[in-house]
Structure 1
Amino acid sequence: MYKYLTLFFSVTLFCCGCKSNSVPNKFIQPNAMTGLLVQIHLIDGSLYNNVQVQDTLYKYGMGKYLAAFKRFNTDSAQFRKSLVYYSNDPDKLSAIYDKVDLRIKAMSDSVNQVQAKERTATHKADSLRLDSIKKANMKPKTAAQKADSVKQLKVKQAINLKRDSVKKLNHRLKPNAVPIK
């Protein structure tokens, strides 16, 4: 009798210890769940960036969510059931969300690269435009412009001479002043 009890408990323990890692067919498979969660989170992000007026999320969001579910051949009820199933197995859910995180980061990096290329292209265009403006300003001056600039230079020199003479005069009027060289 002792042998039968030991055998019974051993078989029971062995059967309970064997756990299947496969996901039942009634739930969304991990790869499809990863893609669906990426789409759901992208839709959430786009909706929360819009101006939120009453019923905005319902008005604009339902169509986007339904399109995502249709793309993955599922519906919201099956998505909820699958999410509950994966929530009961944290290791599987963590693995799925690691993949979701990687995919969203890859998308973000590609968008950032495109934006950086656009910024450099606009920067180059702006710098070329500024260079052409500078070159236009650096054209050789005509004789009239040169004569005008010579007149302006003479006026500036005259003003500077007057300032110097005023400084010397003020300095001479002060007692114990050290002469300016």
Structure 2
Amino acid sequence: MRTKIFLLISALWLLASCSDSNKTPKGILPQKQMVDLLVDMHLSEAINGQRFRLDQTTKNFSNDLYFSICKKHDVDPDVFAKSVLYYGKHPEKYDAIYDQVLNRLNEMEEQAKKEEPKLKPDDGKK
């Protein structure tokens, strides 16, 4: 009897996990595309931060970056905003997206460190 109950519960769990509830609704960017956009958004924020630190900002520079990234990825800014709101209401999906974003940014940072020119230590002579 316990085996039948276990099999029934397992079958129901399997059906529930395969349902369309995990599908992204129409009009929402798929997770991979969100990762691509968010990586570029974070890189642009870093560029903007450097420009601000160097006092080279223009009034609408961050907005220009935002729109240029949407244009680069051929995504309507409203669709991106709607997607951010959707994923914000589904933290388990957003966590998975941001895990990928952080992994990619970390990989880029490691690659940049490998490609940095090796500086010789200053021996104090001039």
TM-score range, shorter chain: 0.7 to 0.9
More helix by share: 1
Q: 1:67: how far off?
A: 1.7
Q: Which amino acid aligns with 1:63?
A: D
Gap change, CA 1:30 and 1:58, over 3 Å in 2: farther
Q: CA RMSD in A?
A: 2.6
Corresponding residue for residue 109 of structure 1: 110
* Largest Rg, 1 or 2: 1
AA paired with 2:21? S
**Aligned-pair identity (%):** 28
TM-score, reference length from structure 2: 0.72
Aligned AA (2:76): D
Q: After superposition, where does 1:1-181 map in structure 2 within 5 Å?
A: 20-51=21-52, 56=57, 58-115=59-116, 118-119=117-118, 122-123=119-120
Higher relative contact order at CA 8 Å, sep ≥6: structure 1 or structure 2?
A: 2
Q: Deviations over 1:72-126 (max 9, x none)?
A: 11122211110010011111000000000000000000001111xx11xx53xx9
User: CA offsets per residue over residues 130-170 of structure 1, 9 Å max, x none?
Assistant: 9xxxxxxxxxxxxxxxxxxxxxxxxxxxxxxxxxxxxxxxx
- How far residue 57 of structure 1 moved from its aligned partner, in angstroms, is 5.6
What code does the residue aligned with 1:40 have? M
Paired with 1:96 and 1:88, the residues of 2 have a C-alpha distance of 13
Residue 58 (structure 1) shift:
3.7
Q: Describe the superposition over 1:8-37 as per-residue Cα deviations: whole angstroms up to 9, x where unpaired.
A: xxxxxxxxx655111022011100000000
Structure 2 unaligned spans of 5+: 1-15
Unaligned 5+ runs, structure 1: 1-16, 131-181
